[in-house]
Structure 1
Amino acid sequence: MTGMRLLPEGDTEVEMAKVMVAEQYDSIRYLLRTVLTSVGHEVVVEVNNGPDVLSTFHSTLPDIVSLDLRLPSMDGFELMKHIKSTSPNTRIIAYSSGIHAVDVEMAISCGASVAFDKPFDLDDYLKHFQ
């Protein structure tokens, strides 16, 4: 992680992270970028499909990947395996609409720190970036 930031409500410090937002929908990418940057994280790249995750990951080297498991053109589980095989310390926050318990288990086994259903509460989402 790249730096420290004081939270406005107190003296608790959180590490700022370089984040890749991998989400197929423009409006959700915009929302996630806005929320993440508002709390001090740096969104280093936004992508809307699996091949773009792979083509930009190594040049941006994010600390955290916010990953929609159902990106076009590539399976999210395979993307996680690739990310973790080349960069084991990268944290992956995985989500998808209509996610089931088996998907959560598979996401964790492929390297996600957490996996949850979309839509999600933004405050809960942000907790995974601390």
Structure 2
Amino acid sequence: MAHSVLIVDDASFMRMMIKDILVKNNYEIAAEAKDGQEAVELYKELSPNLVTMDITMPEKDGIAALKEIKSFDPNAKIIMCSAMGQQAMVIDAIQAGAKDFIVKPFQANRVLEAINKTLG
């Protein structure tokens, strides 16, 4: 059975890019969320195998959502997505329990490498 992935990003274009990479590589898209609050609710409802989480979003940012999901499910597998120049936030995310991070603009091979390593 294919691994299910929850894609979280406030930009629909970015969600579409990740979705395209994943679908082409036989991953199932559990759902998409546009902010951290929606991500937490969908995670609790769907229990996906993996989450790709943007850092900077309205309502609740990715690091707050990461912490909330990890407190709900300590085994959650979350990969952070960040734009260039957000190294400090990436470090915060890794310390909070993120498994890896990918940098925008997304490169298909890097996205797949991070996901395969995390689900490995």
TM superposition score normalised by structure 2: 0.88
Question: Mind listing any 5+ residue stretches in structure 2 that lack a counterpart?
Answer: none
**1:82 is aligned with what amino acid?**
E
Query: What CA distance in whole angstroms lies between the structure 1 residues aligned with 2:4 and 2:56?
Result: 22
RMSD: 1.4
Picking from 64, 69, 76, the partner of 2:50 is 64
Q: Does 1:89 align with 2:84?
A: no
Q: Which residue of 1 aligns with 2:5?
A: 19
What SS does the corresponding residue of 2:106 show, helix, strand or coil? coil
Q: Residue 76 of structure 1 corresponds to which residue in structure 2? A: 62
Aligned residues: 116
Contact kept, 8 Å, 2:94 with 2:100, in 1: the verdict is yes
Q: Residue 51 of structure 1: which of 23, 33, 37 is its match?
A: 37
Match of 1:29 in 2: 15
Match of residue 113 from structure 2: 127
1:17 partner letter: H
Give yes or no for contact 1:49–1:73 (8 Å, CA) kept in 2.
yes
- 8 Å CA contact 2:10–2:34 kept in 1: the answer is yes
Shift of 1:102: 1.9
| Aligned twin of 2:87 | 101
Query: Does the 8 A contact of 1:104 with 1:116 survive in 2?
Result: no
Instruction: Work out the percentage of aligned pairs sharing the same amino acid.
Output: 26
- The normalised TM-score by structure 1 is 0.81
- From 101, 104, 109, give the equivalent of 1:115: 101
Whether contact under 8 Å (1:99, 1:117) holds in the other structure is: no
State the 1:64 CA deviation: 0.5
**1:121 positional shift:** 1.5
Which one has a larger percent strand, Structure 1 or Structure 2? 1
Q: Give the unaligned 5+ runs of structure 1.
A: 4-15
